[in-house]
Amino acid sequence: MSAKLEKLNNFEGVKGPVLTIVMDGVGIAPATEANAVAGAYTPTLDMLMSKYPMVQLKAHGTAVGLPSDDDMGNSEVGHNALGAGQVFAQGAKLVSQSIESGKMFASATWQELVANVKTNASTLHFLGLFSDGNVHSHIDHLKAMIVQAKAEGVSKVRIHILIDGRDVGETSALDYIEPFEAFIADLKDTSFDICIASGGGRMKITMDRYEADWSMVERGWQTHVLGEGRQFASAKEAVLAYRAELGVIDQDLPPFVIAENGNPVGTVNDGDSVIFYNFRGDRSIEISKTFEAAEGEFDKFDRKRVPNVIYAGMLEYDGDLHIPHKYLVSPPEITNTMSEYLANAGVNQLAISETQKYGHVTYFWNGNKSGKFSEELETYIEIPSDVVPFEQRPWMKCAEITDKLIECMESGKYQYLRVNFPNGDMVGHTGSLLATRCSMEALDLQLARILKVVDALGGVALITADHGNADEMYEVDKKTGMPKADKNGNFKAKTSHTLNPVPCIVYDNFYSDKYTVKADNGSFGLSNVAATMVNLLGYAAPKMWDESIIEIK
């Protein structure tokens, strides 16, 4: 149990509710044609930015525990930082350090995986997101493991690729496939049999999250494990064929199976070893459950055949439920989180979002912890997400979330509330500028509703985001800051997160004379939010947290 919060001597705290609003994927960028936030009609957000104190928060790179400032932030590390008040080394950095130091390959799990296939003269399979986006995975980690496997005497390797087009360019698949084919061709010899065995777009197969669409996992299982599906001679052939036939971007490519003479080259069979090499947890849990669940303990779909394999994840994706049972790198131990401190102080808390980001305001906010710190003091509410392409419903569930949030605020039960609106991120990932503008306008309507209730109850709201996305919907020239155009004057859609800062607005019509918002010197990050929130509640922040953005007078 962590230490308790100490009350401030010079400020009793806000009498009404204290609310953190996370506008997922809403960064700050120049108001060019690429910026769906600036291009949308958002009178409430415009009012907030012009009339209320605002600082910009860093939401990427080292500010959220990633290896370098070239690494875009994401919702998982962002919510870790928001909820923990500190910066912890995160997945990509942990994995890279483990590979560089050799700890991964000295681990008992790696040794067991390798020994299994050598003993059985069987296959080592690698399955994961195939890019250098560094949000869910990195192709360099895959390459390092393949090289090590060959060095340790593994004779057969099959790779199952989940094509990105979301954290990297929307049609960049061949930029990864072609060099990788050359890489494995150099490794292949009479004692080392290696090839790509299957694949598909990340939003079509395997990488579902929060059990929103188990059919994605079913399609992945059929493709990677059973070898069922449309056959091609190579991954490149599959990508080119689907693009020509369907006109889809990479993340939406249908599944494909690589075959020779009509036979799949890489089904998963008894005695094999399987590594799911994503380091991020949310889209890794369901496929891990599918591999690990015993007969009679799995009811999501008919697996048809369940091979007896040794399965491991890159990390332990859920530390409380221990998913998966075996993993290569231990995740960061995130302690002394905001939720734990508030629970110890007897503060009633509410966390709410729709399915797509529910885990972010609960699991990730709480330091990768599934359960509550206090069943009595914490309430979690999940509004079920629609299972439709987000560009078709860009408003998502923001109105329903707001309905329930207002109900909870008006109940008077909760002193601290946090809410995530996924619109800017989930719709931004589609690459549709029009839909993303619509998503921002829908969100703006809800902000107006919420702030009216905050005022009626004598509360305070902090409006921020976890990373950028909707702020840069086209590829942008880093030198000019303007969208890149091809020879025909067309802009190329950008579906990934951005490196832009995010807003942090303090909406307070009652207590602003009790404190000052510190000058924005460019040093603040998402981890400064926790201390700010507990200050507004009338508590001093723990010493290990990063400083508050407000100073009590």
Q: What are the catalytic residues?
A: 75
CB 406 within 8 A of CB 450: yes
CA 451 to chain centre: 28
CB 234 within 8 A of CB 199: no
Q: Helices 91-101 and 139-151 sit at what angle, rounded to 10 degrees?
A: 30
Exposed / middle / buried, residue 189 (Cβ in 10 Å: 0-12, 13-18, 19+):
exposed
How far apart are the C-alpha atoms of 553 and 543, rounded to whole Å? 19
CA-based R_g, the chain, Å: 24
CB 268 within 8 A of CB 307: yes
| Cα–Cα distances in angstroms (integers) from residue 489 to residues 454, 483, 484, 544, in the given order | 46, 10, 9, 51
How far apart are the C-alpha atoms of 51 and 478, rounded to whole Å? 30
Count of H-run helices and E-run strands, the chain: 17, 20
Q: Residue-wise over 419-451: b if at least 16 C-beta within 10 A, else e?
A: bbbbbbbbbbbbbbbebbbbbbbbbbbbbebbb
Classified as helix, coil or strand, 42 is: coil
Sign of CA dihedral 183, 188, 193, 195: positive
Region label for 322, one of left (φ > 0), alpha (ψ between -120 and 50) or beta (otherwise): left
CA 60 to chain centre: 12
| Cα–Cα distances in angstroms (integers) from residue 64 to residues 67, 91, 370, 512, 522, in the given order | 9, 11, 21, 29, 15
